[in-house]
A and B are shown apart, each in its own frame.
Chain A
């Protein structure tokens, strides 16, 4: 299963723990939305390639 973790803000300890558990043993990638100019085209490609996208707070 391919999982994509997207971050709207810097992940704190709680988010990091959940990501660790959810992603364990899976093909996981991540995308940081919390930057000045996110590459939305790349993000959409990553969403389409993933089986599940989780957009954390």
Chain B
């Protein structure tokens, strides 16, 4: 059965690579989710826009608790409470990089 993996980034320098890493697992037939917590991410370039779209195409999602990331980068909104509940469904949780 395909595993569910959730990456969580809280530092702006780690967001893009967490998405790339999530996509890497999606192509390995895992359900890969990415969450950006508490940091505002500048508008994605085409490469990162494509990565987000690929993650969605492969039944994953990129979430954020920040309205700015929802508006600028079309991430899906999630609250801390909702993320905690989502984490309970995950086989693997990856607090990514540093805070």
Give A contacts to B, CB under 8 Å: 9, 12, 14, 17-18, 20-22, 52, 54-57
Contact = CB atoms under 8 A, between A and B. Distances in A.
Contacts of A55: 95
Interface in B41-99: 80-81, 83-85, 87-88, 91-93, 95, 97-99
B95 A57 contact: yes
A20 B83 CA distance: 12
A57 B84 contact: no
Contacts of A54: 93, 95
A21 B99 contact: no
B91 A22 contact: no
Contact of A21 (B38, B84, B91): B84
B10 A18 contact: no
A17 B87 contact: no
Contacts of A56: 95
A20 B93 CA distance: 15
Contacts of A18: 80, 83-84, 87
A35 B81 CA distance: 29
B37 interface: yes
Contacts of B81: 17, 21
A51 to B, nearest CB: 10
